[in-house]
């Protein structure tokens, strides 16, 4: 792939964020973005890195009417020796391929995915924050652009990547968050598109999230759509429940996202001697475990959320504390081990990180 680069003059570059400790999530964007188009008869063409700027979109574009859109999320980190690291980017490329297939979109070739991420991140390396807990969030996105109001897959596609220096996803940082267990609204159903990383899943979550936020909860914990009984995910992360030395996480049943952090936590936990069960877990089992004391900790996992301790669950008018609303030892151990690998501070026995350049 030959990437055309449209350079910005030095004196026109944006000023860097002033306090990396106050970045939050997804509010600051870098100078450049990557774009590439799929056109019928031509294939993937016009790979370009140019200024981060608004798009001009045909008002009849399929994405604007029928939400033919998918995205990914990954991060670039700076290691203590100055190397720029990505965490399992080939897994994001693969998942984006599967999401595209599910949404009837032209998949973006996996090798182009890695090449474009590497080229853009290297060009934008001054934006990678170095403060603890910060990183450069990478958001590859694919949208259906063909202009047509009939409900059909788009004929043209735009793939783009934008970058955002970020801190913690939740305002709590690495502190326990509160979850509202939603037992009316649902995020996704088996047979639907819950396992694809498509914007519609997130749009579907907004109303319940707003309701939960109004009541003071950090996020919604979704139950399955058929029986309103089994724990699914949080929307911004997969869930893990800790029973002493055993971890239970909902199995990939088609309606939850196959998280890359989720898969990594499973492998990491097993290597540390934990037993991991991927299986349906009902909200009743969770509540009983909390009441009886066998459920000792809970946490979520995700690229943006990393590993986030859960301090309480609110379900049907009752609030249940998890580990007395404190960060538990298992959660802390997994968080520290994972983050140390991601930031190149510890050995990487699983060959998860890829160095793509240096500062
Ligand atoms: C990620 O963790 O990268 C995600 O895509 C979750 C997001 C909705 C912030």
Q: What is the pLDDT of residues 324-351, one digit of tens each?
A: 999 999 999 999 999 999 999 999 999 9
171 part of a folded domain: no
pLDDT tens by residue, 249-299? 999 999 999 999 999 999 999 999 999 999 999 999 999 999 999 999 999
CATH number at residue 330: 3.20.10.10
146 part of a folded domain: yes
Strands (E), the chain: 4-5, 32-39, 43-51, 69-71, 74-78, 83-87, 135-144, 157-166, 177-182, 219-222, 238-243, 246-249, 275-278, 297-302, 306-315, 318-321, 353-358
Instruction: Clarify whether residues 151 and 287 are in a common domain.
Output: no
Q: Is the CB of 73 under 6 A from ligand 1?
A: yes
Instruction: Clarify whether residues 187 and 153 are in a common domain.
Output: no
Instruction: Clarify whether residues 133 and 56 are in a common domain.
Output: yes
Instruction: Clarify whether residues 86 and 153 are in a common domain.
Output: yes
Tally the domains of the chain: 2
Q: Are 311 and 178 in contact (CB under 8 A)?
A: yes
Model pTM score: 0.97
Instruction: Clarify whether residues 49 and 191 are in a common domain.
Output: no
Containing structural domain, residue 84: 4-166
Q: Tell how far the Cα of 126 is from the centroid of ligand 1, in angstroms.
A: 23
Instruction: Clarify whether residues 322 and 250 are in a common domain.
Output: yes
20 part of a folded domain: yes
Q: Tell how far the Cα of 11 is from the centroid of ligand 1, in angstroms.
A: 33
Helical axes 329-342 vs 260-271, angle rounded to 10°: 110
Q: Is the CB of 259 under 6 A from ligand 1?
A: no
CATH number at residue 107: 3.30.470.10
Q: Tell how far the Cα of 74 is from the centroid of ligand 1, in angstroms.
A: 8
Distant-in-sequence, close-in-space partners of 338: CB < 8 Å, separation ≥ 6 = 261, 264, 265, 268, 306, 307
Which domain-ending residue is among 166, 197, 230? 166
CA distances from 196 to 99, 100, 178, 356 (A): 5, 8, 26, 27
Q: How many of the other CB atoms lie within 10 Å of CB of 102?
A: 17
276 part of a folded domain: yes
Tell the residue nearest (CA) to atom 8 of ligand 1. Answer: 236
Model confidence band, residue 70 (pLDDT cutoffs 50, 70, 90): very high
Q: Which atom of ligand 1 is nearest to the CA of 302?
A: 2
DSSP 211-274: HHHHTT-SEEEEB-TTTS-BB---SSSEEEEEETTEEEE----SSS---HHHHHHHHHHHHTT-
Instruction: Clarify whether residues 32 and 61 are in a common domain.
Output: yes
Instruction: Clarify whether residues 123 and 203 are in a common domain.
Output: no
Tell the residue nearest (CA) to atom 3 of ligand 1. Answer: 73
Alpha carbons 259 and 232: distance in angstroms, whole number: 12
349 part of a folded domain: no
Which domain-ending residue is among 166, 189, 217? 166
């Amino acid at each position: 792939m030959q990437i055309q680069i449209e350079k910005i003059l030095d004196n026109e570059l944006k000023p860097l964020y002033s306090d990396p400790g106050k970045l939050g999530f997804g509010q600051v964007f870098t100078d450049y973005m990557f774009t590439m188009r799929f056109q019928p008869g031509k294939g993937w063409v016009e790979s370009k890195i140019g200024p981060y700027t608004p798009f001009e979109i045909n008002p009849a574009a399929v994405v604007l009417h029928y939400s033919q859109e998918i995205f990914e999320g990954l991060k670039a980190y700076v290691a203590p020796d100055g190397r720029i690291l990505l965490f399992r980017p080939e897994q994001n490329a693969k998942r984006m391929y599967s999401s595209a297939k599910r949404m009837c979109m032209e998949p973006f070739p996996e090798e182009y995915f890695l090449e474009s991420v590497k080229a853009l991140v290297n060009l934008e390396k001054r934006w990678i924050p170095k403060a603890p807990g910060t990183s450069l969030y990478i958001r590859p996105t694919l949208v259906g652009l063909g202009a047509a109001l009939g409900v059909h897959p788009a004929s043209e596609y735009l793939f783009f990547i934008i970058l955002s220096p970020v801190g913690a996803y939740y305002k709590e940082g690495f502190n326990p968050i509160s979850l509202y267990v939603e037992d009316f609204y649902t995020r996704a159903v088996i047979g639907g598109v819950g396992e694809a990383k498509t914007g519609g899943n997130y749009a579907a979550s907004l109303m319940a999230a707003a309701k939960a936020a109004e009541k003071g909860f950090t996020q919604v914990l979704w139950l399955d759509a058929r029986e309103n009984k089994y724990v699914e995910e949080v929307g911004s992360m997969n869930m893990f429940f800790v029973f002493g030395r055993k971890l239970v996480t909902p199995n990939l049943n088609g309606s939850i996202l196959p998280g890359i952090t989720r898969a990594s936590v499973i492998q990491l936990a097993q290597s540390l001697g934990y037993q991991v069960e991927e299986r349906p877990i009902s909200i009743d089992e969770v509540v009983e475990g909390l009441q009886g004391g066998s459920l000792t900790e809970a946490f979520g996992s995700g690229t943006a959320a990393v590993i986030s301790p859960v301090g309480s669950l609110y379900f049907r008018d009752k609030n249940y504390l998890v580990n007395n609303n404190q960060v538990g030892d298992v959660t802390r151990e997994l968080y520290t081990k994972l983050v140390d690998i991601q930031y190149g501070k510890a050995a990487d026995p699983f060959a998860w990180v890829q160095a793509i350049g240096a500062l």
